[in-house]
């Protein structure tokens, strides 16, 4: 039996099942998920007390104040999980500390700027400068696309493509965060898929940068996203805010580079060079491209002009509910990620295991969220009935 389990683990990318490295990854995922799940209720109460909330307006779908500080809980959950992973397996972490610290430092800068923007508002140019700083931080520690050909220009082209990719995905995740559960679900699906790719090719001589760093940060991000969805699936009790959406996008952009996705062409000037990475994040990329083009055609600033021109707005306009819209776009994301895994040469066993795991975990999370919502609705109705005056009662205070 143990031999069969060991063989299965090897087929999905765990080269040494007898070692505990893969257990550390699993524990990182679980710790981040539980931490986000447990942090958010307390954060939600505090956020409502101090006014960290989006008020209803014509652009938003919420009908009452909705806490917008979910990104703080997600960041705390990711950091906690990685700290515990460091304590459990310090000899594994010491080889990837620079990459992990760079991602966390850049992410913390985006968390802070996004949070300030959520509460007080920041000009688009300032947000862009902060994102550029965070992207340059990754480049400075070697997290960038590899461009093999192109001579002396290869380094310049590599840096430019990396900066555009990181800033673009950071903003793309923020732009699709318009429906409850969408950004969190897309992040979870993509994180798990990228994790499978990083695990499958970990240790190959041509692997980009360090897939070990990718597996750890992706496990923490996937766990935090799943824990967040427990409170964010429609009807949401808390939202990411710009801080959480920026953090999701930034970490996914960095991890897609770390996780063995390579860029190799003559000058790397053609869109096909980013094909593997784009496939994993195809939904936010397509949504952002069409939104930017539409707003430019209307001679509007794409970064500062709000509107209802996203893909999810189109589905809502057709009469779909938030829940159905989210589920449809989750399915699209899962399909594009499975295609991306096939393109990357991931084994069939790993692809099937990844798909089943994603569907099962999302289904359980949705079921738990809907069950909690129904129970809360029943309690509210019961309390309302108990407090309402009877037929012969005088409703006026004595």
Average pLDDT over residues 231-236: 92
Q: What is the pLDDT of residue 256?
A: 87
How do residues 95-140 score in pLDDT, each as one tens digit?
677 888 999 999 999 999 999 999 998 998 999 999 999 999 999 9
97 belongs to a structural domain: yes
Retrieve residue 308's tokens. Answer: 């209802």
Nearest one of 329, 324, 365 to 231, comparing CA atoms: 365
CA atoms within 13 A of residue 225's CA, in its CB half-sphere: 29
Q: What is the pLDDT of residue 210?
A: 58
How many domains, in total, are found in the chain? Answer: 1
394 belongs to a structural domain: no
157 belongs to a structural domain: yes
Q: What is the pLDDT of residue 171?
A: 94
How do residues 354-394 score in pLDDT, each as one tens digit?
999 999 999 999 999 999 888 887 877 776 666 555 544 44
Q: What is the pLDDT of residue 177?
A: 92
- The domain in which residue 47 lies consists of 20-371
163 belongs to a structural domain: yes
Tell me which of 218 and 90 has the higher pLDDT. Answer: 218
Confidence of residue 60 (pLDDT cuts 50, 70, 90): low
34: pLDDT strictly greater than 70: yes
d(CA 117, CA 125): 12
Question: Which range has the top average pLDDT, 75-79, 209-213, 347-351?
Answer: 75-79
Average pLDDT over residues 232-252: 94
2 belongs to a structural domain: no
3-state secondary structure 131-196: HHHHHHHHHHCCCCCCCCCCCCHHHHHHHHHHHHHHHHHHHHHHHCCCCCCHHHHHHHHHHHHHHH
149 belongs to a structural domain: yes
392 belongs to a structural domain: no
288 belongs to a structural domain: yes
Q: Taking the mean position of all CA atoms in its chain, how far away is CA 363?
A: 18
């Amino acid at each position: 039996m143990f031999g069969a389990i060991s063989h299965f683990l090897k087929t999905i990318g765990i080269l040494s099942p007898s070692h505990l490295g893969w257990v550390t990854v699993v524990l990182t995922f679980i710790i981040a998920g539980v931490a986000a799940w447990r942090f958010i209720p307390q954060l939600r109460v505090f956020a409502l007390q101090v006014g960290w909330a989006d008020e209803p307006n014509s652009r938003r779908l919420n009908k009452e104040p909705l806490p917008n500080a979910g990104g703080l809980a997600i960041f705390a959950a990711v950091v906690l999980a990685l700290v515990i992973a460091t304590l459990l397996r310090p000899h594994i972490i010491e080889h990837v500390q620079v990459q992990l610290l760079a991602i966390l430092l850049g992410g913390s800068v985006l968390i802070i700027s996004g949070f300030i923007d959520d509460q007080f508002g920041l000009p688009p140019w300032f947000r862009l400068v902060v994102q550029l700083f965070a992207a340059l931080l990754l480049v400075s520690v070697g997290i960038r696309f590899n461009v093999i050909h192109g001579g002396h220009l290869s380094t310049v082209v590599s840096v430019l493509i990396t900066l555009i990719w990181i800033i673009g995905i950071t903003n793309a995740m923020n732009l699709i965060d318009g429906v409850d559960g969408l950004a969190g679900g897309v992040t979870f699906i993509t994180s798990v898929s990228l994790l499978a790719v990083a695990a499958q090719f970990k240790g190959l001589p041509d692997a980009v940068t360090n897939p070990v760093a990718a597996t750890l940060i992706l496990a923490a991000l996937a766990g935090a996203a799943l824990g967040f969805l427990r409170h964010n699936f429609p009807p949401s009790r808390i939202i990411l805010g710009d801080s959480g959406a920026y953090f999701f996008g930034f970490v996914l952009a960095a991890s897609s580079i770390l996780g063995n996705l390579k860029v190799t062409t003559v000058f790397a000037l053609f869109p096909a060079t980013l094909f593997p990475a784009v496939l994993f994040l195809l939904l936010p990329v397509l949504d952002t491209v069409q939104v930017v083009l539409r707003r430019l055609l209307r001679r509007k600033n794409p970064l500062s002009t709000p509107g209802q021109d996203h893909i999810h707005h189109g589905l809502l306009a057709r009469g779909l509910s938030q829940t159905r819209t989210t589920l449809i776009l989750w399915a699209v994301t899962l399909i594009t990620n499975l295609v991306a895994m096939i393109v990357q040469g991931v084994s069939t066993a790993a692809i099937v295991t990844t798909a089943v795991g994603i569907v099962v975990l999302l289904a359980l999370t949705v079921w738990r969220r809907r069950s909690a919502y129904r129970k809360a609705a029943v309690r509210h109705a019961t309390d309302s009935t108990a407090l309402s005056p009877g037929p012969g009662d005088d409703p006026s205070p004595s």
